[in-house]
Amino acid sequence: MSLLKSREVVLGGVIVLLLAAIASRFPGFVAPANLGRVFTDTSPLILLALGQMAVILTKCIDLSVAANLALCGMVAALMDGMGVPMPVILGTVVVMGAGLGAINGALVWGLGIPSIVVTLGTMTIYRGTIFLLTEGAWINAHQMSDAFKAVPRQVILGLPVMAWIAVAAIAGVAVLMTRTALGRAFYAVGGNPHAAVYTGISVGRTQFAAFVLAGALAGLTGYLWVARYAVAYVDIAGGFELDVVAACVIGGIAIAGGAGTVAGAVMGALFLGIIKNALPVVGISPFWQMAISGAAILAAIAFNARRRDPGRIILKRAEVRA
């Protein structure tokens, strides 16, 4: 575990250095209020990265999360337009997101189709469905009720509700990963599927659960996204799935499964969020963002590669205890 810990320490150090470098020229960037804004702005990425982490831990990948987000966000906006009360909308997006995730999971679990193929397909299907629902029309701010738009922006104890939801999700997923049988099953399935089967864990069902979790978080984020930016259309969060995978990879979630922590995923998301928010402040064209995040992914996987054989982690821990 010491290796794993050092991984998060390194990333934390990089983030602190990054903030220090920005602060040396633009001290306003590290003011608590601005850091709060950066965190709020990064909340959707954090929420999706938490779900993606569970999926990647089980040796799968979910490329449909951004399309899921967009579809659930659009459904939320449409329901608001029909005058559906807020609690019902919130319940619906979570259930619907989980359902879309369950479709991915069922195809992976029941038919054994590789997750990358399944989610490449569902990604286009989910996004296309938004078009079928709306015929490409936008839902703009003036078509949304005030209550609908207010929820994620409501400030409690200095942070908007959106940021608090991210905090709650971080805490919830951290407990799930480290304190529950399902959380340990995610690691076991990715670390060594054969051993997982012998210990009585169903690999397919665990992967299914990971997809449902990722889907539910994407659905919830869909509402938050649409309400915060007060607009819903077919292409919202286009290409966001790559940012989500990037956050996980930078955060040290091993793409081969079985290794990675909630802290890593969150810091990976924050790293990208800080860069995105700092570029305009530092005066670098926002067009640099894509290349920088690409370079960061490559640096992160090169760094990850030095960590050998993530499949043995659970056994090592057992050995230490024994």
Partner 1 sequence: MTHSPQPGRVIPDRLTSPASRALKSWEALLAVVAVTIFLLNAWASPYFLDPWNLSDATFNFTEKAMIAFAMALLIVSGEIDLSVGAIVALASTAMGVAMGMGAPTPVLVAVGLATGLACGAFNGVLVARFGLPSIVVTIGTMSLFRGISYIVLGDRAFTGYPAGFAWFGQGYVFWVVTVELVIFALSAIVFAVLLHRTSFGRTVYAIGNNATAARFSGIRVDRVRFILFLLTGLMSGIAAVCLTSRLGSTRPSIAAGFELEVVTIVVLGGVSILGGSGTIPGVVLAAFVLGLVTFGLGLLNVPGIVMSIVVGLLLIGVIAVPRLISKLRT
Residue closer to partner 1, measured from CB, 90 or 120 = 120
Contacts of 313 (CB under 8 A, 6+ apart): 1, 4, 187, 191, 258, 259
DSSP class of residue 311? G
Q: Least Å distance between CB 159 and partner 1?
A: 30
Structure tokens at 98: 């989980």
Residue closer to partner 1, measured from CB, 27 or 112 = 112
Contacts of 280 (CB under 8 A, 6+ apart): 286
Q: Least Å distance between CB 289 and partner 1?
A: 7
Decide if 56 contacts 260 (C-beta within 8 A).
Answer: yes
Which parts of this chain interact with partner 1 (CB under 8 A)?
A: 59-61, 107-108, 110-118, 120-125, 127-129, 131-132, 136, 193-194, 196-197, 203-204, 207, 234, 242, 245-246, 249, 255-256, 285, 287-295, 297-298, 301-302, 305
Spatial separation of the C-alpha atoms in residues 278 and 29, rounded to whole Å: 8
Residue closer to partner 1, measured from CB, 124 or 154 = 124
Spatial separation of the C-alpha atoms in residues 267 and 260, rounded to whole Å: 12
Q: Least Å distance between CB 314 and partner 1?
A: 15
Residue closer to partner 1, measured from CB, 2 or 285 = 285
Residue closer to partner 1, measured from CB, 203 or 216 = 203
Residue closer to partner 1, measured from CB, 85 or 110 = 110
Q: Least Å distance between CB 298 and partner 1?
A: 4
Spatial separation of the C-alpha atoms in residues 40 and 274, rounded to whole Å: 11
Q: Which helix (H) or strand (E) holds 159?
A: strand 159-160
Count of helix runs (H) and strand runs (E) in the chain: 14, 2
Q: Least Å distance between CB 255 and partner 1?
A: 5
Decide if 74 contacts 226 (C-beta within 8 A).
Answer: yes
Q: Least Å distance between CB 112 and partner 1?
A: 5
